[in-house]
Chains A and B, each alone.
Chain A
Amino acid sequence: MILSYEIPLLLLLLVTAAGAILVKDLMSAVLLLGSYSFFLSLTWAWLGAVDVAFVEAVVGGGLGTVLFLLTLIGTAPKDTRLRRPPPSAITLIVFPLLGLLLLYAANDLPEFGDPNTPASAHISPTYLEQSYQDTHTPNVVTSVLMDYRSLDTMVETVVIFAAGIACALLLRRNA
């Protein structure tokens, strides 16, 4: 069940991410990044994370793309550098090493989709079983976000407020 639709979705993810990276025209790169966001939200909906998929489609694919486009319209929409100097030796050594290290760690990861992994067996069943008695909300994600972790969510809005203030201060006309 996991394999049948996931492989094409993951391939689409990789292709759109590669497009966003490789395309010279920054406007096209940003639009490809938006399509990457939408394929990502499709993948998440497929994995059972509908709330995350909604947020990614609205905030990542919508707002993020709009912010990138607004910046590009105000500035230079082309990557003017046609020939890049080759990357330094330390980059060429460190990145393959990091990749090998990460792939080597794959052996120790539990299999994806197994309901008995430590991530799914430790505390999350308690939330699933008791959230309705505690909060009377059928959606467990909402009850954790808005009830058990409501202070966290409130302080997160402070972070977004600070980001908004920073943007407004940076974009003042007579800065």
Chain B
Amino acid sequence: MVDAFYAVFQRTNFLTFVIIFLWGFYIMVTRYNLVKKLIGMYLVQTSVIFFLVSISAKKGATVPVLLSTTDPVQAANYANPLPHVLTLTAIVVGVATTGVGLALCAAIYRKYGSLDEQEVLERLE
């Protein structure tokens, strides 16, 4: 039990990821305002990307741009580039989906005059 607590506080990045992920998810489920839900979704997306980038970090390593193009490369001197590539596309796709969500919000507001989930449901009936 003490070991588990110690393990969590050894990995502060993971603790931050868990807090932001769960809080954003909770906001998506419980809040009634649609824009607030999208803010929660954005937090969930970025927290997962933050976790992936944290995995790619190495102590004492520099950015994955080769310092010398002639010497043989020591892989431990550069951060792991593969999570960076994955997250680059994930960020752009995440913002694109958030944009579609926001366009849906604008369309809902134009039709029903409210961004509140309950009010929209009442007006639907």
- Which of A87, A99, A140, A170 is within 8 Å of B64, CB to CB? A140
- Which of B31, B56, B64, B88 is within 8 Å of A139, CB to CB? B64
Which residues on the B side are within 8 Å of A84 (C-beta)?
A: 30-32
- Which of B27, B46, B85 is within 8 Å of A144, CB to CB? B85
Number of interface residues of B (CB under 8 A): 87
Q: Which residue of B lies closest to A7 (CB)?
A: B12
Most A C-beta atoms less than 10 A away, residue of B11, B81, B97, B118: B81
| CA–CA, A76 and B97, complex, Å | 21
- Which of A49, A55, A107 is within 8 Å of B79, CB to CB? A49
| CA–CA, A30 and B39, complex, Å | 8
- Which of A17, A76, A102, A128 is within 8 Å of B78, CB to CB? A128
**Quick one: given A37-B46, A140-B65, are A171 and B107 in contact (CB under 8 Å)?**
yes
Which residues on the B side are within 8 Å of A30 (C-beta)?
A: 35, 39
Which residues on the A side are within 8 Å of B78 (C-beta)?
A: 48, 128, 140
Segment 92-111 of A: residues with Cβ below 8 Å from B = 95, 98-99, 102-104, 106-107, 109, 111
- Name the prevailing secondary structure of the A interface residues: helix
| CA–CA, A127 and B54, complex, Å | 19
Interface bits A35-56 vs B (CB < 8 Å: 1, else 0) = 0110010011001111110011
- Which of A113, A123, A131, A156 is within 8 Å of B92, CB to CB? A156
Residue numbers of B with Cβ under 8 A of A are 3-4, 7-8, 10-16, 18-27, 29-33, 35-36, 38-40, 42-43, 46, 49-50, 53-66, 69, 72-73, 75-76, 78-85, 87-89, 91-100, 102-107, 109, 114-116, 118
In the A-B complex, the 7 residue pairs with the smallest Cβ-Cβ separation, listed nearest first, are A125-B75, A48-B79, A163-B96, A113-B59, A75-B109, A170-B103, A47-B57
A-B contact pairs, 26 of them (CB 8 A): A1-B59, A2-B57, A26-B35, A26-B36, A36-B43, A48-B58, A55-B91, A59-B95, A70-B102, A71-B105, A75-B35, A79-B36, A99-B18, A106-B15, A109-B7, A112-B11, A114-B58, A115-B59, A117-B55, A119-B55, A120-B56, A123-B82, A141-B65, A166-B103, A167-B103, A171-B107
